[in-house]
């Protein structure tokens, strides 16, 4: 039923699917709300991290935030910026987006997407849009991030790993750990279906653009890749299959 896809096919599929997915945020709110929930969990993990490291974060001249695989609108980043704003850290935060799609970056920078007032305080809209206007965008693959070691203070990847070919999941996890500085925050969320092929892929079997995520990995498997991360918070296993997502947050050792 499914043709064997290569890592390059996955990238091409993502460029086409997500580059043209102008209504990504609306769709997630209306159809796949578990994606929003997973991202809210990353934001909650970041809130706890900020509380713990507030003094240090306040003393830093700049905070660098990297979002790997943002999709149009960078919902993961928007929720993270909301948390940074709560503690007066928004002003000095610089947003970096890394995605295989140039259009994802351009549309996000232009602010050409739906601002989700249902989950983000609308009073923040102007400030968040300004941050995104000034974002630094990189068209690249997660498995080969063009940044120096220990460069970022915060790195997030919401629902990225299920879009990666199996052969690149490990190297992508390693790249995220490489570019984050010691004690920096890492927040990951992803989707999980117990019977992925029957339940999810079957629904997408006739999609015009081939579904390039024939395999998803369980939280435990992905966690094994993050060997340099001290995990502070994570989904409870019994919740994962009920919710169709998992998350984990931690600090680089």
Ligand X SMILES: C[S@@+](CC[C@H](N)C(=O)[O-])C[C@H]1O[C@@H](n2cnc3c(N)ncnc32)[C@H](O)[C@@H]1O
Residues 10-39 that bind ligand X (CB under 6 A): 11, 14, 18, 28, 35, 39
Residues 193-232 that bind ligand X (CB under 6 A): none
Options 46, 76, 93, 245; binder of ligand X; rule CB under 6 A: 76
Q: How many CB atoms lie within 10 A of CB 251?
A: 18
Binding to ligand X by CB under 6 A, coded x per residue (else -) over 113-142, reads ----------------------------xx
User: Is 99 an interacting residue with respect to ligand X (CB under 6 A)?
Assistant: yes
Options 155, 164, 176, 219; binder of ligand X; rule CB under 6 A: 164
Nearer to ligand X by Cβ, of 120 and 164: the residue is 164
Positive or negative: CA dihedral 125, 126, 129, 135: negative
CB of 7 to ligand X, least distance (A): 8
Chain positions contacting ligand X, by CB under 6 A: 11, 14, 18, 28, 35, 39, 68-71, 75-76, 98-101, 104, 141-142, 158-160, 163-164
């Amino acid at each position: 039923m499914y043709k064997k896809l290569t890592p390059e096919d996955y990238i091409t599929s993502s460029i086409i699917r997500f580059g043209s997915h102008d209504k990504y945020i609306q769709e997630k709110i209306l159809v796949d709300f578990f994606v929003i929930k997973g991202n809210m969990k990353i934001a909650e993990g970041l809130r706890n991290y900020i509380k713990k490291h507030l003094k240090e974060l306040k003393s830093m001249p700049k905070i660098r935030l990297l979002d790997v695989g943002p999709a149009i609108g960078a919902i993961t980043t928007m929720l993270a910026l909301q948390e940074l704003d709560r503690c007066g850290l928004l002003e000095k935060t610089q947003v970096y987006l890394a995605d295989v799609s140039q259009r994802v970056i351009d549309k996000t920078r232009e602010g050409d997407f739906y601002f989700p007032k249902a989950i983000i305080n609308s009073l923040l809209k102007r400030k968040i849009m300004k941050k995104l206007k000034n974002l630094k965008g990189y068209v690249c693959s997660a498995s080969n991030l063009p940044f120096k070691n220990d460069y970022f203070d915060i790195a997030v990847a919401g629902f990225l790993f299920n879009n990666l070919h199996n052969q690149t999941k490990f190297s992508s996890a390693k790249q995220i750990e490489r570019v984050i500085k010691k004690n920096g925050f890492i927040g990951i969320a992803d989707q999980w279906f117990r019977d992925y092929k029957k339940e999810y892929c079957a629904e997408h079997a006739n999609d015009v653009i081939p579904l390039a995520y024939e395999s998803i990995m369980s939280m435990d498997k992905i966690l094994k890749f993050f060997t340099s991360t001290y995990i502070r918070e994570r989904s409870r296993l019994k919740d994962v299959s009920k919710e169709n997502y998992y998350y984990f947050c931690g600090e680089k050792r």
